[in-house]
Amino acid sequence: MRKTLKSMVLIYLMLVLSLCIPLSGRAFFGEALNLTDDQKVQLGAIRAQAREEITPLVEQLKGFMATMEGILLADEVIDTGEGSHAQLLSEEIIGVRTQMMHIKAKAKLASANVLTLEQREIIIEKKKTRHERREKRRSRFEDRMEDPDGLPPLFPE
């Protein structure tokens, strides 16, 4: 019971702290990049265009995924062989996801063309720092999983 309470308190604290952190990648890079007003307008237009292209694909994907869920949870055993409905639907899902990835890549390339070399270097450095922090956390987590009893108590008594 006590462990559960401690876990709940920890999760609640993490949730509260996460609300204090900016949710957007733009907030993460925006201030450091010192974007000009023209760059902000251009990047906003690129994001709006990508969103406009992706939105109908997202809706289409949701429909495909709902249909696939119905197939997978059906009472009868289904044929998953070549040419089956499930196979054709999975190919459609892959096609939509591929289109979405293409749109995102096109938007990233267009955004990179708006930025100066110095601004792109800042992004590379920030991403590298973020990756290093993530790896450090992952390493600590793996260490704890190997020896969970070696952890210091979260709430000393």
CATH of the domain at 74: 1.20.120
Q: How far apart are CA 30 and CA 48, in angstroms?
A: 17
pLDDT at residue 69, as a whole number: 86
CA quadruple 27, 50, 69, 89: dihedral sign: negative
Asked whether residue 62 carries a pLDDT value surpassing 80, the answer given is: yes
pLDDT at residue 70, as a whole number: 84
pLDDT band, very low/low/confident/very high, at 114 (cuts 50, 70, 90): very high
pLDDT at residue 32, as a whole number: 82
Give the range of the structural domain holding residue 71, as residue numbers without chain letter: 25-115
Q: What are the angstrom distances between the C-alpha of 66 and each of 72, 80, 91, 118?
A: 10, 17, 15, 45
In the structure encoding, which two tokens stand for residue 3, read together? Answer: 């462990």
Domains contained in the chain, number: 1
Cβ(78)–Cβ(71) below 8 Å: yes
Q: Is 129 inside any structural domain? A: no
Q: Is 52 inside any structural domain? A: yes
pLDDT at residue 141, as a whole number: 80
pLDDT at residue 25, as a whole number: 47
